[in-house]
Structure 1
């Protein structure tokens, strides 16, 4: 599925959360798609199952996945209007990143190009 950097200063569970978020955001993992079980993913990545469980709990608290007792974890269908608070956080972070990019010399065209690149991996509304 993906690889984690065991030499990174970033904790493994945070790397796992970021990788799974990217797979969900880029529509590689579809709405209501079943995620690998904690045990399966732990074996595949050769890491402790508790680390996987912690990442899954984090993703669930962020609204990216949901769990069904005895069935597993699934990608949560996103209702755009349900995420007002999260959208506001993302907007603020984007503003900060845009300001930094412009300060470092990135042009509006380059930013626009990045947006189109990202949208290319998304499904259309």
Structure 2
């Protein structure tokens, strides 16, 4: 199957972001087992060594943990998962504000645009 990856960001980082997003959205819950390295490599169309790196980095971030002979699991530390959620929120907000500022928009224009966007979403 595979995923369409962005050329300007390392694949392993895109996979970490993807899994972190699934955790934040509740698609992967605390204590859930992640796919085996081989399964996830096939699912994503990525080399198994890259998946091994993804899981190792997620362990270093304390959002996943390896259990010998059992696999890799989403951490059960809800405090760490809350930190992950807040960090990702800040990252996306910073990126949005930076991109919009680069286009010449003020914070007030961004706020107005977001309010208008939200109103449109409620009409759907």
Provide TM-score, normalisation by structure 2. 0.68
Query: Where has structure 1 moved over 2 Å in runs of 4 or more?
Result: 2-7, 82-104, 108-111
Match of 1:19 in 2: 18
Counterpart of 1:110 (choices 114, 121, 124) is 114
8 Å CA contact 1:4, 1:16 repeated in 2: no
Larger Rg: 2
Q: How many residues align?
A: 113
8 Å CA contact 2:33, 2:71 repeated in 1: yes
Match of 2:32 in 1: 33
Match of 1:50 in 2: 49
Question: Which consecutive unaligned segments of at least 5 residues does structure 1 have?
Answer: 118-125
Report deviation, 1:33: 0.5
RMSD, aligned CA: 3.5
Report deviation, 1:15: 0.7
User: Distance in 2 between the 1:14 and 1:79 partners?
Assistant: 22
Match of 1:120 in 2: none
Secondary structure class of the residue paired with 1:9: coil
8 Å CA contact 2:64, 2:74 repeated in 1: yes
CA distance 1:92–1:67, change in 2 (3 Å) = same
Report deviation, 1:86: 6.9
Question: Which consecutive unaligned segments of at least 5 residues does structure 2 have?
Answer: none
